[in-house]
Structure formats: structure tokens, C-alpha cells
Amino acid sequence: MSSNVITVSGMQIEERPWLDALQRWLTTVDHKRLGILYIAYGLSFLLVAGVEAVIIRIQLMRPHNNFVSPQVFNRMFTMHSTTMVFFAAMPILFGFSNYLVPLMIGARDMAFPRLNAFSFWLSALGGLLLYFSFIGGSGLYGAGSAPDVGWWAYAPLTARAFSPGHSTDYWTLSVLVSGFGTVGTGINIIATILCMRCPGMTLNRMPLLAWLNLVMAGMVLIAITPLSAAQIMLLVDRYLGGHFFDAQAGGAPVLWMHFFWIFGHPEVYILIIPCFAFMSEIIPVFSRKPIFGYPVMVAATVCIGFISMSVWAHHMFTVGMSSYANSFFTFTTMVIGVPTGIKIFNWLGTMWGGRLQFKVPMLFCIGFLFQFLIAGLTGIMLACAAFGWQLSLSYFVVAHFHYTLVGGVVFAIFAAIYYWYPKMTGRMTSERLGKWHFWLFLIGFHLTFDLMHFPGMLGMPRRIYTYEPGRGWDMFNFLISIGAFIQAIAVLVFVANLVISYFKGDKAGNDPWDAWTLEWSVSSPPPEYNFASIPTVASRRPLWDLKHPEDPDSRYE
């Protein structure tokens, strides 16, 4: 640390290390600290939203249950989804981007460290604002509190007439504010990747994580902002007497739907693309082979980025668009399945012929592959508009998107946490606890979300606080709830692992996994300046070249 401390004799300076640490963390502009803040923040909200999910599942364990009132239930599903998307998944993924991108491209920090900090605190404020609604808002019929309009907040349910009080405003403002933070981080990521790569690292030699974050950040710029625009319009309607979505004045509630889903569909790709990035970094290391088809992976991701802007109305198949519109969106939605499938095949190709090591991160990656395959296929089913007329707005869709978001995003997040925890903390996690976490979570996940497809096909719509007996849904719902409880236990094991390993884990060296990207060339945790001197690279796997000077990648690229 610093060796030029001035000693003043005769004075007693009280040391308060915890206060110093707090100040360092609150005022940090270091991308690694901000990354950890984002991840810790996101994990906390993941737990809170998980509790909300458990409440939902207890209520739905049997028909006509009375665990919570309909008002509370509606708040629970609204808060669960809003929290998970905006304040759990996005912060965790942005935290990893923040932490890893500069290290992987050989830079000392992000392009704009202060903007980085500002974006984090803006997003953090958004989450706290949303949860303040429990105390501060007043919802339908002035009955108090958190928003209960669903995370899509469809008009006209959000109009003053149908949502008096302030609960909807908490939804609008918290998401609006954190949206600006998100755009700030998107700008930062693009500027960092385009302008701060170390010498020799052409775009063609960047780790796939950097490429995919570049595409994701570009999508953030043009997908988050339509939601911000729509939310401003909603506020104009609610507070300035505007008529954007006011049917009585000739306005069109359908317009809100279009604007929301122009955001909403790219948003789910914004969530999954960083997870693809994790897969593309972790699977090669535990297969002991480079990623299969690097250029194709880049091209496929860029295609996904573009096509995802043209599929939004597959969320609106039941809204009454013309048969031509329905057919168009069927087509584009199916087309986007092609590059996505190509990526799955490429990961399979990476594993093929390799020497697979089933460490905990790899277990979660394998789970991801199976689950994302299934999720993609149920997505194809939903893409067929006519089939979608039966399946939309039912528990089939709930099963599909939880398959992508839990089976995909959450599994990928777990893989990433187990993989980079040694780099961030200098300690290894417990393999034993990790495996318990994995198997418990896998069993719970499949019990819940495999079965959930069936009530959907048997007519159970979503967002209902209770259901009628005798429709064939009862046993499914009961078992689904059991699966949720198992997942909750698994998550507790996970949290225990993180905490215990921090204090008792084996010391991790620079490179516990024998990996090949630049972050593994520095100490664990890295020094504040990342690299003593900025590296120069000659291939996509600089550390492979160092470890295998007889057979470097640079010879083949």
C-alpha cells in the first residue's frame, strides 16, 4: 500500500477501519468494487424476490387457498417480476460486466469511472424506491402500498381511474430512474470496449464476453429508452391530464403494449446475452478446448441483437392484430431461434472431443445447455401465433419464461459466481456445498417448471390469485410449490457457501482453473490498478500462448 505516511508525534489518531472501509465502498469509482456492489445488491434483491415467489406458491398450493388476500397476491407477483428483472438479474449481470470487461481487455478501469459509480447509485436508488412503496404508496381502492399492476403495467389498468393512489407511480419512477442508470452503464461498456483495449487486442481477438457485452450494451441503448419514453407518457397521463393511453379521449391502450414490448423483448435478450457470454468463457475452460466457431458466435449474437428488435408483437398475438401482422411476427420470432440454436450447437461442439471437468461452474453450464434448449423449443411453440392463441397468457408462458430466466439466466449467474468468486475474493468456494446447491436446485427447478407447462395446456391463465378445483390443475400446482420450496433451500445452501468460503475457503492463486483470458494473469483479488503494465496480446487466448509456447493460438488465427 502506501509507504509515505507522515507520522505526527504526540498525536493519537483514532483508527476506525470499518468507517474507512464504508467510505471507500460508498465513494468508489473502481470498476471491481462497483461490480461487487452491483452483484451484492442484485443477490439481495434476488433473495427478496424469491421470498415473494414462495408466497405466491404457497397461495397457489391448493384451490381457493387463503394464505394471502387477492390484493397482497397481486402485489406479490408484480413485485416479484419487477424486482427479478430490474433489480436482481440486471444488476448482477451488469456487475459482472463491470468487473470483467476491463480486466479481460487489458484496461485499468472502465472508460468513465465516475459515470460508472453514478449509474450504480441511480439503479440502487430505483430499487429502494420500489420497495419504499410498501410503506409509502396507496394502491387500488386506497388499500395501501406496493404496485399491483403486473410488471408490464398495461394501460388502462394504470390510469388514475383504475389505479388511484401512488403505487403505480412507484413502479414507474423506480424503473425510470434505474433505466437511466442502465443506459449510463451501456454507454460506459461500449466506450470501454471500443476505446480501451490493450495493444494487439483487435475486435477479432477480444474474449467473447467482451463481444457479447458490446452487443448487449448496444441493445440497452435502443431498447431501454422506449420504456423510459412510455413511462414518461404514463406520467403525463396520470399527472398532467394527458391522453396517451386514455380510451375515452380516443387513445389506444394497444400503444402502451407496443411500446412496452418494443422494450420488453430486447430486454430479455439483454438478460440472456451476458449469460451466453458466461457460457462462452466457462465451457471452453472446463472442456479444455477453445470455443468452437468464434466468428460464428459473434455473428450469431449480432444477428440476435438485430432480429430481437423485430419480434416484439409475439407478446401481443391475442390482441387482435391482422393475420398478416401475426404471420410476420411468427416468422421473425422463429427466425431468431436459428442463431440461438447455432450457439447451443457451438457450445456442444466445444465440449465435443474435449476433456470435461465437472467442477461446480461446469455443472451449472451443463444445466443451462439442457434447459435453454427446452426453453428455446417451447419458445418456438409460442412463436406459432395460432398455437400461441391457446398458450399465451397461460401458465405455459410462465413455464417458458421461467425456463429461460431461471433455467438459463439464474443457472448462468450461479456458474459465473462459482467461476469468478476465486478471482474476486481470493478464496475457493466449497465444491461439496456447491454440488449440494446444484443438485437441490436442479431437482427443485425441474419439479416446478417442467410440471408448470401442463396447467397452461389445461387452461390455467396467469396472474390469478386462486383457481377453481376440478380443472385438472390441483395436483400440478401442489407439486410445483414443493419444487419452489426445494429451490429455496438450495439457494440458502448457496448463500451459506458464499459466506463460509469467504472466511474458510482455500486460498485461490492467480489462476485456479488453468484458464486463458487476461483476468487470470493478475492476482486474486486483482490490485486496484489491475495490471502492473498494460499487456499486449497476439491471440484470443493470451495465457494459452504463454503456457503453451510450442503451440500458441497466434499461429492459427
Partner 1 sequence: MRQMKRMSSIAASNVALLAFLFVTCVAGAEPTGFFSSPTSIFAPASTPAKSIAPLAIFVLVITGIIFSVVFTLLVYAIIKFRGRASDAGREPAQVYGSTQIELAWTIVPVLIVVVLFLATARVIHSVQDAPEPVSAVEVTVIGHQYWWEYRYPKLGIVTANELHIPVSDPAHPTPTFMTLLSADTDHSFWVPELAGKTDLIPNHPNRTWLDPQRTGIFLGQCAQYCGVQHAKMLLRVSVDSTKDFAAWVRAEQQPAVEDSKVAAGRHVFETTACINCHTVNGTPANGRFGPDLTHLMSRATIASGAVENTPENLRLWIQDPNTIKPGCLMPAMKLSDADLDLLVSYMETLR
Partner 2 sequence: MSAIANPFPQASASWRLPDRGKIAMSCLILAESAIFTIFVVAYLFYVGKSLSGPTPRDVLETPIFYTICLLSSSLTIHLAAKLLVRDKVGSFLFLWLLTFALGGLFLYGTGKEWHKLIYVDGLTISTNLFGTTYYSLVGLHAFHVTVGLFMILIVAICALAGRVGVEQAHRVEVLSMYWHFVDVVWVVVFTVVYVVGR
Query: Judged by CB under 8 A, does residue 141 bind partner 1?
Result: yes
Taking CB under 8 A as the criterion, which residues in 472-501 touch partner 1?
472-473
Taking CB under 8 A as the criterion, which residues in 33-72 touch partner 1?
69-71
Q: Which stretch binds partner 1 (CB under 8 A): 126-134, 217-225, 464-472, 484-492?
A: 464-472
Minimum distance, C-beta of residue 211 to partner 2, in the bound complex (Å): 16
- Report the candidate in 36, 218, 247 with the shortest Cα–Cα distance to residue 159: 247
- Rounded to 10 deg, the angle between the 208-239 and 167-195 helix axes is 150
Write the DSSP assignment of 478-517 as a string of letters. HHHHHHHHHHHHHHHHHHHHHHHHHHHSPBP-S-TT---S
Query: Judged by CB under 8 A, does residue 370 bind partner 1?
Result: yes
- DSSP 8-state class, residue 427: B
Minimum distance, C-beta of residue 482 to partner 1, in the bound complex (Å): 19
Query: Judged by CB under 8 A, does residue 391 bind partner 1?
Result: yes
φ, ψ of residue 274 to 5 degrees: the values are: -60, -30
Pattern 394-413, binding to partner 1, x per CB under 8 A? x-------------------
Q: Which of 16, 51, 389, 536 is close enough to bind partner 1 by CB under 8 A?
A: 389
Minimum distance, C-beta of residue 494 to partner 2, in the bound complex (Å): 32
Query: Judged by CB under 8 A, does residue 74 bind partner 1?
Result: yes
Contacted by 20, from partner 1, partner 2, none: CB < 5 to 8 Å by type: none
Query: Judged by CB under 8 A, does residue 247 bind partner 1?
Result: yes
- The two most distant CA atoms of the chain are separated, in Å, by 86
Nearer to partner 1 among residue 310 and residue 390 (C-beta)? 390
- Measured CA to CA, the distance from residue 197 to residue 409 in angstroms comes to 27
φ, ψ of residue 192 to 5 degrees: the values are: -65, -50
- Measured CA to CA, the distance from residue 80 to residue 61 in angstroms comes to 18
Q: Which three cell numbers stand for residue 552?
A: 500458441
Minimum distance, C-beta of residue 430 to partner 2, in the bound complex (Å): 28
Q: Which of 83, 326, 501, 517 is close enough to bind partner 1 by CB under 8 A?
A: 326
Nearer to partner 2 among residue 31 and residue 343 (C-beta)? 31
φ, ψ of residue 461 to 5 degrees: the values are: -80, 170
- Rounded to 10 deg, the angle between the 360-383 and 323-351 helix axes is 160
Q: Which of 244, 465, 494, 520 is close enough to bind partner 1 by CB under 8 A?
A: 465
Taking CB under 8 A as the criterion, which residues in 518-557 touch partner 1?
548, 551, 553, 556
φ, ψ of residue 85 to 5 degrees: the values are: -70, -50
- DSSP 8-state class, residue 206: S
Query: Judged by CB under 8 A, does residue 443 bind partner 1?
Result: no
From the CB of residue 1, how many other CB atoms can be counted at a distance below 10 Å?
4
- DSSP 8-state class, residue 13: -
Q: Which stretch binds partner 1 (CB under 8 A): 110-118, 184-192, 229-237, 457-465?
A: 457-465
- Report the candidate in 152, 54, 172 with the shortest Cα–Cα distance to residue 392: 152
Minimum distance, C-beta of residue 119 to partner 1, in the bound complex (Å): 32
Nearer to partner 1 among residue 499 and residue 546 (C-beta)? 546
Pattern 189-228, binding to partner 1, x per CB under 8 A? ----------------------------------------
From the CB of residue 476, how many other CB atoms can be counted at a distance below 10 Å?
18
Minimum distance, C-beta of residue 211 to partner 1, in the bound complex (Å): 15
Contacted by 502, from partner 1, partner 2, none: CB < 5 to 8 Å by type: none
Minimum distance, C-beta of residue 130 to partner 1, in the bound complex (Å): 19
Judged by the rule CB under 8 A, the positions of this chain that interact with partner 2 are: 111-112, 183, 186-188, 190-192, 194-200, 221-226, 228-230, 232-233, 236-237, 240-244, 249-252, 255, 259, 262, 521-523, 527, 532-538, 542, 546
| Three-class SS state of 394 | strand
Nearer to partner 2 among residue 55 and residue 111 (C-beta)? 111
Nearer to partner 1 among residue 95 and residue 379 (C-beta)? 379
Nearer to partner 2 among residue 26 and residue 221 (C-beta)? 221
Q: Which burial class, exposed, middle or buried, applies to 6 when counting CB atoms under 10 A from its CB (0-12, 13-18, 19+)?
A: exposed
Minimum distance, C-beta of residue 361 to partner 1, in the bound complex (Å): 14
Contacted by 244, from partner 2, partner 1, none: CB < 5 to 8 Å by type: partner 2
Q: Which three cell numbers stand for residue 246?
A: 386514455
- Report the candidate in 524, 518, 515 with the shortest Cα–Cα distance to residue 196: 518
Grid-cell match 386506497, residue found: 142
Q: Which of 374, 417, 498, 543 is close enough to bind partner 1 by CB under 8 A?
A: 374
Q: Which of 157, 209, 210, 406 is close enough to bind partner 1 by CB under 8 A?
A: 157
Query: Judged by CB under 8 A, does residue 287 bind partner 1?
Result: yes
In 238-308 the beta strands, taken as DSSP E runs, fall at none
From the CB of residue 492, how many other CB atoms can be counted at a distance below 10 Å?
14
In sequence order, the 6+-apart residues with CB closer than 8 A to the CB of 376 are 337, 340, 341, 344
First to last CA, the chain: 40
Contacted by 345, from partner 1, partner 2, none: CB < 5 to 8 Å by type: partner 1
